[in-house]
Structure formats: structure tokens, C-alpha cells
Amino acid sequence: MNKEAQVQKMTDMMAKFVGYTGKKLPDDVIAKLQELREKETEALPKVIYDTMFRNQELAVKLDRPSCQDTGVLQFWVKCGTGFPLINELEGLLKDAVVKATFETPLRHNSVETFDEYNTGKNVGKGTPTVWWDIVPNWDGCEIYTYMAGGGCTLPGNATVLMPGEGYEGVTKFVLDRMTSYGLNACPPLLVGVGVATSVETAALLSKKALMRPIGSHNENERAAKMEKLLEDGINAIGIGPQGMGGKYTVMGVHIENTARHPSAIGVAVNVGCWSHRRGHIIFDKDLNYTITSHSGCVL
Amino acid sequence: MVEYRDGKKILVTPISADDLKDVHIGDILYLSGSLTTCRDVAHRRVVEEGREIPVDVRNNAILHAGPIIRPLENDKFEMVSVGPTTSMRMEKFEYEFVKTTGVRVIVGKGGMKENTANACKDFGCIHCVIPAGNAVVAAVCVEEIERAEWRDLGMPETLWNCRVKEFGPLIVSIDAEGNNYFEEKKIEYNRKKDEQVEIISKQVGFIK
């Protein structure tokens, strides 16, 4: 296959995969929602979960996006330096989003800032968002896809705490956000927390944390303990599905961290809604693919 | 009118103030009849510009939403995907909007505040939440889009006048007495949050 045909093939596959993730949730999210659904006993959360599951069934059956807000597309790329399409990758992801916008269809969610007009194609200056991690001495490419809807983008926040505020300050920062903005962000939420050295390092990690599979833990023992404490703590507030009350408010809390300056604790929070449309696909150098997020998905 | 079918309580338009007397916050309802999408700019036109709303919503329902619509032939449309948008954005306008238009049921996402609660109390109206993120469930309750007005506002903001059947579930967040589900819940959530911050803080003193 020549380069042009390869680019076309990967563009088509990514467009299909993006469209698919808008119609069917990843396996781990479905399993977690099922678990939380079974644990609720009151009428209100039960009715809400019944609606959610019926919606996901209908979306697949009628081949429509399960939520009307198909978000801004974001890609987290881990690309080997030897991947044959490394030079074309960013461009082809943009083309894939345009293609998916018309074929799926996706809502038009890209408004140029300052000029303030909707491009009508879901792409614009810097959108879709593409974050790069370069992997030396590898010829494959791993891509996380994510539809960042408006409702669950709004709670995002980052700050730098003084060390005197400590991890107690981190706790308060995260929990305050849950009761002020979490209600409208379509809980049960997946909560990503970045603990690092500055606003941008923490913010990036808080979104990266949402790419981790539900049920995974930070490899640092204390960070993992804090994930559990925050998860139990937010659940105990009782916000529940749709913010209307229930036993469980989160699908999980994921912390990602780096070292910090002795004088600063950078902290950020990002949330994913219950309709957490994350995908994960790995390509080898011949464009054979493996999808880990959605079993049974064939492109 | 109020109907009961298969254990469901269904409000059927036209709805009277009397129909809402036994409706309380936390109740689960369904809606059949006339439902019109109405959001930011339409509220501004009615309240600030003083323009007459081209779809009569008196004794009917509005939905805070911007749907995905597919145009069909002969000026007809299909509802592909529709879900509620954050109602709070309309809070600023809602008292005057209810007063002017005589709408009985407002459907959206999340809570609203005292402006809307006062309107509900003064004019006999309710605010309900339809669980968000369920765009296909909501779309299949739309039997037909009967009219499309103020089309100059573009697809999300056009007034899409729909005939719906058992649209829901709708969870009552403000009732016609002005009781406000979310505002009551928020007090409870904030109290519990303070307790949890204290409990967790005792276990994360990692800087020593």
C-alpha cells in the first residue's frame, strides 16, 4: 500500500471508530453503571438508571448518537517514532473528525474564538485537540479518543495551592467542585485529579486520568489511598444520578501525579459524565488494529 | 388534563393550574401533547425585546434544548436527537417569560432558582428535569414536529413545536407551590461535603 492509500485507510478507520464511540459506551463504563444501578434502592435513581440503559439500547438499535452533545473531539496519542504515518497523523485525525461529523452524524461543536462563528465541521483552530506522547523505538501507535461534552467540561478547574494547605487543601478543592458544578455535569461522574507542580501540568494530568480504565489505581500507595478516600467521600455526599440524590455519585476517582516544586502544589480536577465516551485503539505499522475499549467493535 | 396509564401519571395538554395541584417535587410524570423547544435567544426576544412568541405555549410545555433535526420533504422535519440543556441559563428571564406566555410546564436540566420558583407559585407552573444524556429516548417520544418558528436562530435555537407522546420520565424539580427540589438538596449536599472534607483531611497528612 502506498502512503496515500495508508492515510486514507487510517482516516476511514478513525472516522468509523469515532462515530461508533458516540453510539456505544466502552465496556468498563457499561459494567460500572450496571453495578451502580443494582446498588440503588430508591425509586428516583432507579427510574434514572432505567432511562439511561433504555437510551443506550435504543442508540445502538436506531444507530444514533446516544447523547445529542457529541462534544469536542480529543485525542491522546502515544505514537512510536517508527510509526509510518507519524507525519500525517495530526492531519488525518482532523479529516477523520470532519468525515465522522457528516457520517455519524455529530453535532457541530467547534466555535472559533474571537471570530465567534461555528465552523459547522467540528474542526477549527486547534480542534480536535491532539496531545502527543512520543514513544522511542516503537513502530506502533496507540490512540485514546474522547468526546468532551459541554456539561462535563464546565466543572474543570485548576489552581496552585501553598504547601501549607497540603493534601487537605486538595481534598477541599475537589469536593467543593462536586457540590457546586458536579450536579449539572450528569453524574455518576468519573473524576480525574492532577496533582503536580503548576496549573498546566496538573490540568493535563486531570484529563489524562479520565483515559484510565475504571477500576484501575494509581501505582503510588498513598495516591491510591486518596483515590479511594475521595471516591467514598464524594459518594457519601449523596448527589446521585443527575444530582437528584442517590447512594453513588461517581464511577471512580483517578489521580495522576508528578513531582512538585517545594513551594507549590498544582492541583486540577476534570470530570467525565455518565456517558463517558472514551475509546482506545492500537495500530501496528501495517495498520492492523486492536480495540481494547469496546469488545465486538469491528471497523 | 391528567391521565393515568400503566402506572404512569401523564399530563396532557392543555394543562390547567388545577391539574398541577397534586404535583409535588420529586414526583415522576410524563407529558403528552404540545411541547416546544425554547432556549436562550427565544427567552431574550420575549422578555427583553417584547416580541410575541410565534408558537402559543399557553397551558402547554416548553423544553430547554437544542436538538439535532433532519429536514424531510415538504417543509417537514424529523427529530433525530434531543436532550435538555442547563435550565439555569434561562433563570434570569423565566419569571417574565411565564407571566407573558402562560406556559404551564418547563422541562430542562438541573435546577433553577427563586425567579422561576416565584413564577411557578404566582402563575401555576412547574419545572421538571428529564434525565440528561438520553437523547434517543427523548427523540422517539416525538411523534411529529408540527411547526418550526424563528428559524433565523438556526437549528439549536429554533422553536420546534412538537407533538409528543408520554415524553419523559420528567422529575418535578419545582412545583406550583414554589418548592424547589435542588435548592433543598444543595443544603444537604453542602453539609455532608463539609463532614467528608473533615474525615478525609485527617487521613491525608502526607506532608510532615
Nearest Cα to Cα of residue B116 among B131, B132, B129: B129
Candidates A68, A108, A176: best to mutate against B (most CBs of B within 10 A) is A68
Nearest Cα to Cα of residue B48 among B93, B99, B86: B93
Domain identity same for A262 and A233: yes
CA torsion sign, A268 to A126 to A24 to A120? positive
Residues A192, A272 contacting (CB under 8 angstroms): yes
CA B49 to chain centre: 22
Q: What ipTM goes with this model?
A: 0.93
Query: Sheet harboring A189-196: ordered strands across?
Result: A157-161, A265-272, A189-196, A250-257
Per-residue pLDDT at A1: 85
Per-residue pLDDT at B192: 98
Question: Quick check: A200 pLDDT over 90?
Answer: yes
Q: How confident is the model at residue A88 (pLDDT cuts 50, 70, 90)?
A: very high
Question: Quick check: A33 pLDDT over 90?
Answer: yes
Domain identity same for A132 and A16: yes
Per-residue pLDDT at A120: 87
**A219 lies in which domain range?**
152-272
Domain identity same for A99 and A205: no
**In a domain? residue A32:** no
Domain identity same for A92 and A134: yes
Domain identity same for A226 and A173: yes
Mean pLDDT (chain A, rounded): 96
**In a domain? residue A94:** yes
Per-residue pLDDT at A118: 87
**In a domain? residue A128:** yes
Domain identity same for A141 and A197: no
**In a domain? residue A33:** no
Question: Is B206 an 8 Å CB contact of chain A?
Answer: yes
Question: Is A59 an 8 Å CB contact of chain B?
Answer: yes
**In a domain? residue A31:** no
**In a domain? residue A29:** no
Taking only the tens place, the pLDDT of each residue in A94-146 is 999 999 999 988 888 898 999 988 898 999 999 999 999 999 999 999 999 99
Per-residue pLDDT at A126: 96
Mean pLDDT throughout A12-29?
A: 98
Domain identity same for A128 and A194: no
Q: Rounded to the nearest 5 degrees, what angle is found at the Cα of B110, between the Cα atoms of B78 and B25?
A: 105
Question: Quick check: A18 pLDDT over 90?
Answer: yes
**In a domain? residue A58:** no
Q: Which chain B positions have a beta carbon within 8 Å of A186's beta carbon?
A: 132-133
Domain identity same for A8 and A143: yes
State which fold the B2-181 domain adopts.
fumarase (3.20.130)
Per-residue pLDDT at A117: 85
Q: Which chain A positions have a beta carbon within 8 Å of B140's beta carbon?
A: 58, 62
Mean pLDDT throughout A179-205?
A: 96
Mean pLDDT throughout A74-86?
A: 98
CATH code of the domain in which A251 resides: 3.30.1330
Q: How confident is the model at residue A192 (pLDDT cuts 50, 70, 90)?
A: very high
Q: State which residues of chain B have pLDDT below 70.
A: none
Pairing between β-strand A289-291 and β-strand A250-257 as defined by DSSP bridges: unpaired
Give chain A's domain count.
Answer: 2
- Of B66, B131, B195, nearest to A48 by CB-CB distance is B131
Domain identity same for A11 and A144: yes
Domain identity same for A241 and A111: no
Taking only the tens place, the pLDDT of each residue in A234-249 is 999 999 999 999 999 9
Domain identity same for A143 and A167: no
Domain identity same for A104 and A236: no
Q: Which chain A positions have a beta carbon within 8 Å of B28's beta carbon?
A: 43-44, 47
The model's pTM is: 0.93
Percent of chain A's residues with pLDDT above 90: 93
Q: Map chain A to HEC letters.
A: CCHHHHHHHHHHHHHHHHHHHCCCCCHHHHHHHHHHHHHCCCHHHHHHHHHHHHHHHHHHHHCCCCCCCCCEEEEEEEEECCCCCCCCHHHHHHHHHHHHHHHCCCCCCCEECCCCEECCCCCECCECEEEEEEECCCCCEEEEEEEECHHHHCCCEEEEECHHHHHHHHHHHHHHHHHHCHHHHCCCEEEEEEEECCHHHHHHHHHHHHHCCCCCCCCCHHHHHHHHHHHHHHHHHCCCHHHCCCCCCEEEEEEEECCCCCCCEEEEEEEECCCCCEEEEEECCCCCEEECCCCCCCC
